[in-house]
Amino acid sequence: MDEAGAPPLELSDALVEKVRAALAVGDTSAAAALAAPLHAADLADLLERLDGEARRALIAALGPAFDADTLPHLDEYVRDQVIEALGPEATGEVVARLETDDAVEVLADLDEAEQAAILAGLPLPERAAIEQGLAFPEYSAGRLMQRDAVAVPEYWTVGQTIDYLRAQPDLPDEFYDIFLIDPRFRVVGAVPLSRVLRSRRAVPLKELRLKELRTFPAECDQEEVARAFRKYGLVSAPVVGADGRLLGVITVDDVVDVIEEEAEDDILKLGGVLETDFFAGPWQSARQRLPWLVVNLATAVLAATVIGLFEGAIEKLVALAVLMPMVPSMGGNAGTQTLTVTVRALAVGELTPSNTLQILWKEIAVGLVNGAVFLVLGALIVALWFRDPYLGLVFGLAMIANLTAAGLAGVTIPLALHRLGFDPAVSSAVFVTTVTDCVGFGAFLGLATLLL
């Protein structure tokens, strides 16, 4: 609720149309008045819905009222356009108002020249903190952390801590834990803020029931951080350097963003597209999608080669051409099911060397069971359709072979790519589809050649 008690303005289709209409007639002040009260996330959504020209006009109309927190919410492609519209000086002023982790996220996507131009306009403390964050590896805890962590000496009392919190003007906007440090600034413990507020002033912090301390090296991958937060129910955790000194803190809101980004990234990579594809122009999208389509063409040629080996059998029995696509299609669907489960299990750490063999046998068993069902159903349908029980048997046996191969490929291919250091979400689908196509065509046409 705002000061007048009215509910906060939320983005709606009607509001988007009002902004569009105002910008279309050149009434930028009206458009800015409509957009300014929006939450940063809603303003980002509004900017993403506008086209490039209207987007630039609205940013110019907002001027200093542009909410800095909008930038981290924007799609990378749209954010580049917004930063270009703002210019280096205005972008520097906006970035200076962001939390360190958000500022690092925004600048990390820019090229070095753009980063240098924006950083040059920042005050020295903010510039130093952001430069240090950018120095850490991409997708690491160092990039994810906030520099402003609440830390006090381990020998302080509750009263000293509360007085410090009241007197300190530069505390983070939100924090959940108070970290205890030794004279070398190494983290030795953590106390929930709620625990401090419920304790008497004379109680030493080290006598309070300390939280189980889990620290993360600055170079730790953000996926490992997110996995630990989810597994242990963390709300915040300190990031430390090689010497154990406190560098910053990661909070649960940052981890929620990571979980969403990683899940979205895996889904997009399974389709061979990038996060920026939706907002990119036709040429950019086509260029991004083309490489995997070329790879898919090569694998399709391989499958076609398998078909060509049985050209004579197809010429003799036209029914083979009618039924042939069904076998690899069913195998492809089954392979995608297994692949999705496997990639997800690898991403969250559930598939490990200790249970790989167990999962592999399970997926083979699933393929055999489903294949057996389709052996009966497929053989019956084909036998009645073409009045040829042997053709029905061939179809059913090919189905059970391909569904079993799909389960095997759906586990082994992403696992092999993961062990080789490649992202299994990127290329697994192409190779799994190739296996199911080749096995499906080969099994069906090969059995038909032998038995018919």
Distance CA 23, CA 52 (A): 12
Q: Report which residue type is found at 302.
A: L
Nearest alpha carbon to residue 407 among 443, 366, 451: 366
pTM, entire model: 0.63
Do 151-252 and 281-451 show the same overall fold?
no
Distance CA 159, CA 167 (A): 12
Nearest alpha carbon to residue 429 among 293, 225, 313, 278: 293
List the domain boundaries for the chain. Answer: 13-138, 151-252, 281-451
Residues 6+ positions from 442 with CB-CB distance below 8 Å: 306, 309
Distance CA 245, CA 181 (A): 9
Distance CA 371, CA 289 (A): 34
Per-residue pLDDT of the chain in tens (452 residues, 90 and over written 9): 444 444 456 788 889 899 999 999 999 899 989 998 888 889 999 998 888 888 999 999 988 888 889 998 888 888 888 888 888 888 888 888 888 888 888 888 888 888 888 888 888 888 888 888 888 988 899 988 988 889 999 999 999 999 999 998 888 878 899 999 999 999 999 999 999 999 999 999 988 866 678 999 999 999 899 889 988 889 999 999 988 899 999 999 888 888 777 766 666 666 655 555 455 556 665 565 556 556 655 656 666 676 666 666 665 566 777 777 888 888 888 888 888 888 878 876 777 787 888 888 888 888 888 888 877 887 788 778 877 788 888 888 888 888 889 889 888 988 888 888 777 766 677 788 888 888 888 888 888 888 76
Domain 13-138: homologous superfamily in CATH: MgtE N-terminal domain-like (1.25.60.10)
Strands 177-181 and 151-153, bridge-based pairing: parallel
Residues 6+ positions from 250 with CB-CB distance below 8 Å: 141, 144, 145, 146, 216, 225, 229, 236, 237, 238, 239
Element (H, E) at 192: strand 187-192
Q: Please provide residue 428's backbone torsions phi and psi, each rounded to the nearest 5 degrees.
A: -60, -40
Which tokens sit at 255? Answer: 């981890």
Distance CA 412, CA 318 (A): 35
CATH of 281-451, one of 2.40.50.140, 1.10.1660.10, 1.10.357.20, 3.30.565.10: 1.10.357.20
The upper half-sphere exposure of residue 182, i.e. CA atoms within 13 Å in the direction of its Cβ, equals 8
Q: 152 has which bridge partners?
A: 180
Distance CA 63, CA 394 (A): 71
Indicate the Cα dihedral angle 422, 423, 427, 428, nearest 10°: 100
Domain 151-252: CATH class, spelled out: alpha beta
* Cβ proximity of 73 and 44 under 8 Å: yes
SS3 171: coil
Residue 131 burial by Cβ neighbours in a 10 Å radius (0-12, 13-18, 19+)? middle
* Cβ proximity of 444 and 323 under 8 Å: yes
Q: Report which residue type is found at 49.
A: R
Distance CA 95, CA 374 (A): 59
